[in-house]
Amino acid sequence: MSMVDKRVEFRYFPFTPIKIGNTPIYYVGERATPFHEIIINGNVRDRKFVAFFVYGNEVTGFMTCGYQNLHLYLWEAMKLLVMPPATQLRSK
């Protein structure tokens, strides 16, 4: 479909919400997906960060902690296939 300039969208990406204490944690991606690297943006000590799980140069899942609706925007980016590659996430 992308070869004929049609919009490609994946409808199903698993979404798992968790709440530990008062901190919401959201994980988007298949369970037990293999990954080689974790790229963390934010501050883990302040409990406000995004962790991207990377396999090769592709983001296979992510986890947000402490943000209000950021997981919805990233989830939609994964569905529309506009998630940046891992090289852009590494360079911040």
Q: What is the mean pLDDT of residues 40-64?
A: 92
Q: What is the pLDDT of residue 91?
A: 83
User: What's the pLDDT at 72?
Assistant: 87
Residue 1 has pLDDT above 50, yes or no: no
Averaged pLDDT of the chain = 85
Q: Say what the pLDDT of residue 9 is.
A: 62
31-87 is classed CATH 3.30.390.30: yes
Residue 31, pLDDT above cutoff 60:
yes
Contact (CB, 8 A) for 46 and 66: yes
Got the DSSP string for 28-62? ES-TT---SEEEEEEETTTTEEEEEEEETTEEEEE
pTM of the model: 0.81
